[in-house]
Structure 1
Amino acid sequence: MKLRKVTAAAAAALVLSLTATACGGDDGDSEDTGSGSGGGDKIKVGIKYDQPGLGLKEPDGSFSGFDVDVATYVAKELGYDADQIEWVETKSADRENALARGDVKMIAATYSITDERKEKVDFAGPYLLAHQDLLVKTDSDITEATDLNSKKLCSVTGSTSAQNVSDKFAPKAQLKEYGTYSECIAGLQSGAVDAVTTDDSILAGFAAQDQYEGQFKLAGLKLSNENYGIGVKKGDTETVDKINKALEKMVSDGAWDTAVKDNFGPANYQNEPAPKIGDIVQ
């Protein structure tokens, strides 16, 4: 009888132990998806896969770009080594949903901070101030947006960049929409279009690629202000604070400047100084 009582007690203890372990397992799974406070097995970070100089998946499966460098630095400050980062392709149209679903812990993907987006997600940063600009051939005589009248201007389908130029500066510009910026750049190279427009950081990333060395130049226009921030799930103020501290450290120790030169240097990108946290340029 005593044996059965002891066994029953042991069984009860085992159930309690398994229950506690299961609860702990939930926490561990949370850290695996990057929703923990750092130090978990993995952190999932949303980036672009198709933007040279910012977020690019290389043929060997590795990742490169300024956004990648920034996110890697931030993740390290949150307690994750580079090999603990799981990079997740996050397309522009799905960024808010990816954060809301918990698919990623944070997004660093040329993610401009806007009032509309702040209703759905929280932002750390900004960590880069970009501007809408034009990319043209090195020998092009296009120096102002007004020079685009009667010229062929390319941007990607769904982008407002080309329309912004047409509405405000060059109403007679011939707008060409391609599926990707890579197609726009190929069109510029072949002469099918006269200029490509989007954020100067994105254009500089393409121009810095080895296959385009010396072929293109940025016009150096500032047609809009794009404050890139790191998006996190709405209400996660703790993570926002930690990321902001990491960004401040990245600037102060020189790693930010190094990342800019490494990713945009060959394009002679005249970047703005590192912005102050919370300083949104309208």
Structure 2
Amino acid sequence: MRNRHRTTTPLLAAAAAGVLTLAACSAPGEEPSVLEGDTITIGVKFDQPGLGLSENGGFSGFDVDVAHYLAEGMGFEREDVELAGVTSAEREDKIIGGEVDMVVATYSITPERKTEVTFGGPYYVAKQDILVRADETGIETVRDLEGHDVCQGEGSNSASRITDGLGIGATVADAPSYSQCIDWLSDERVDAVSTDDLILAGFLAEDPSAYRFVNNPFTDEKYGVGLPHGDVEACEAVNKAINEMYQDGTAGELLEEWFGSTDLELVKSVPQFEGCS
């Protein structure tokens, strides 16, 4: 958390106390909104090409660009935005613990997660799909994963949707990250990687001759903007910024920039928001 509470100089303390008896930024007992901070710390992925990748001392990717756009719409100058790398497994903990103010990191909105954080958005609706080696000929649908080894990143439930949700007898291999899953796929330690098509497209764009999409999506994955639980004010500001991002064409431009070289069908219309309550 970075300066969520604005500072007050000693000279102004008494005056400020008097003003606060009449009006306050937050109701008694409520946490202030992240909008009230002087700076904002945003959690992004650091090992997912095309979405959030740490390199050359900074971060790059679609989610990173979206994070900066949203922060500007929330009233923060670029120099007041700090990015921090997060893994899938630690996103809730980082928000709840105050280490980050907001998360833009392929963070699928689920009923369970909504009990711990408030979600703005979604800012994109991805589809779950499957990536296999380019020379793999036996996997053309999710049902073909029966008896195969499927990798998922720690903290993700993508492969579990195949085994538990669809009842397909695949063996789930949990890797520390999806970049590790791709390494295992390349080394033939697993037969497939299954997760959101936007994540897979980022890896595919890096080495299009080594892998291929099965291109048979089977779920919707709503990418939300994670915020402290109950911060409705920030959520509404995020939703307004997401709407503007699609209306002014920025979202479409960013999607083409990061994923246009793949055969992924990109959705460039404003997603239906979940609501901030």
Q: TM-score range by the shorter chain?
A: 0.7 to 0.9
Task: Please state whether the residue corresponding to 1:267 is helix, strand or coil.
Answer: coil
Q: 2:41 aligns with which of 39, 44, 50?
A: 44
Other-structure match for 1:165? 162
Other-structure match for 2:226? 231
Are 2:13 and 1:19 aligned? yes
Q: 1:113 aligns with which of 102, 109, 113?
A: 109
After TM superposition, the score normalised by the length of structure 2 is 0.80
Q: 1:20 Cα shift?
A: 5.1
Q: 1:50 Cα shift?
A: 1.6
Q: 1:157 Cα shift?
A: 4.4
Q: Which has the higher helix share?
A: 1
After TM superposition, the score normalised by the length of structure 1 is 0.79
The equivalences for 1:106-185 within 5 A come to 106-141=102-137, 142-157=139-154, 159-167=156-164, 168=166, 170-171=168-169, 173-185=170-182
Consecutive unaligned residues of structure 1, counting only runs of 5 or more, are 1-14, 24-33
**Cα distance, 1:119–1:174 mapped onto 2, change above 3 Å:** closer
- Cα separation, 2, equivalents of 1:203 and 1:166: 19
- Cα separation, 1, equivalents of 2:147 and 2:89: 31
Other-structure match for 1:243? 238
- Cα separation, 1, equivalents of 2:151 and 2:93: 28
The superposition leaves residues 165-208 of structure 1 with CA deviations (integer Å, 9 ceiling, x where unpaired) of 2342632x344333322222122223333211111111111111
Other-structure match for 1:216? 211
**Cα distance, 1:92–1:151 mapped onto 2, change above 3 Å:** closer
Residues 158-167 or 69-78, more deviating: 158-167
The count of aligned residue pairs is 252
Q: 1:63 Cα shift?
A: 0.7
- Cα separation, 2, equivalents of 1:123 and 1:111: 9
Paired residue type of 2:13: T
Q: 1:72 aligns with which of 41, 63, 68?
A: 68
Paired residue type of 2:114: K
Are 2:260 and 1:265 aligned? yes
**Cα distance, 1:165–1:245 mapped onto 2, change above 3 Å:** same
How many percent of aligned residue pairs carry the same amino acid? 40
Consecutive unaligned residues of structure 2, counting only runs of 5 or more, are 1-8, 18-32
Other-structure match for 1:35? 34
Q: 1:135 Cα shift?
A: 0.2
